[in-house]
Amino acid sequence: MAEALGPQAELVEVDADLPPEAGDKERFTRGVERLLLDGQAEAAVHSAKDLPGEMTAGLAIGAVPARVDPRDAWIGPGGSIEEIPDGARVGTASLRRRAQLKALRPDLQMVELRGNVDTRLRKLEAGDADGLVLAMAGLQRLGRDHVVSFAFDEEQMTPAAGQGCLVVQTRTGGEAQVEGISDPNSLTRLTAERAAVVGLGADCSSPVGVHARLEGNWLVIDAFAGRSDGSVWVRDRVEGDPARPESLGRELAERMLRAGASEAMAGSTLSD
């Protein structure tokens, strides 16, 4: 990414010794943002799905490079959701993945499994779980996608908003310095997804999936919200003009809230 920003780009190291905040992802994100706000960096790169829906005051999304595969991947026995063995122990710390997996396959057993990709793969090999669900994008970027048994269809397992996207964040007014590396279609899709998440009152840890795609002249947005035990969920879709991604994302959120999305998400925990 530094190369994409130009030959004069310089990497700035983020202080790893940060004060505890809401969670590890948000803690790291806020640390990166501090460098921007303090003037120690001109641009910051985030995984889009880790960036809070409400942008920090004084900062803006300057660019969204071309999106890579947004799907969730299964690592373990079975070539489809139907072929995963009965009662398999699935390693994941994501409420979104738990909710959708339990909705699809109530027999599956969820095991809380944390750590980076290599740590989770080692835990799988050690027998801590029978299978894992990880983001295809992360596996591809690390050259680990050879371990994937299959990728879930986006309508079957709705990805997290922004999954597969990187965001180049700048101070407000500094967007022009990075806009040349932005992909318009990826930016449109991400804008719609983030608007839906904000409209639902969700965050990066909520059992919510939102995925937007362009089909011809239409922007199609699918969303899922549900309880992490898979007992209650809401799915919906809107289609419309890609020139108004924010309003379409908000429209989808409003429809889902009227259908009971807030109640569906209420009470979700990793112990489900």
- Contact 148/133 with Cβ under 8 angstroms? no
Q: Where are the domains of the chain?
A: 24-68+161-265, 72-151
Residues of the chain with pLDDT under 70: 1-9, 13-27, 269-272
**Token duo for residue 167:** 């965001």
pTM of the model: 0.89
Catalytic residues: 49-50, 96-97, 114, 120, 204
The CATH label, of 3.30.930.10, 3.30.70.270, 3.30.160.40, 3.40.50.300, for the domain at 24-68+161-265 is 3.30.160.40
- What is the share, in percent, of the chain residues with pLDDT greater than 70? 89
Q: What is the pLDDT of residue 20?
A: 41
* Distance, CA of 63 to CA of 46 (rounded, Å): 11
The DSSP element (H or E) to which 196 belongs, if any, is helix 184-200
Which class in CATH covers the domain with range 72-151? Answer: alpha beta
* Distance, CA of 165 to CA of 157 (rounded, Å): 17
Neighbouring CB atoms inside 10 A of 146's CB total: 6
Amino acid at 10: E
Burial of 68 per CB tally in 10 Å (0-12, 13-18, 19+): middle
* Distance, CA of 104 to CA of 74 (rounded, Å): 14
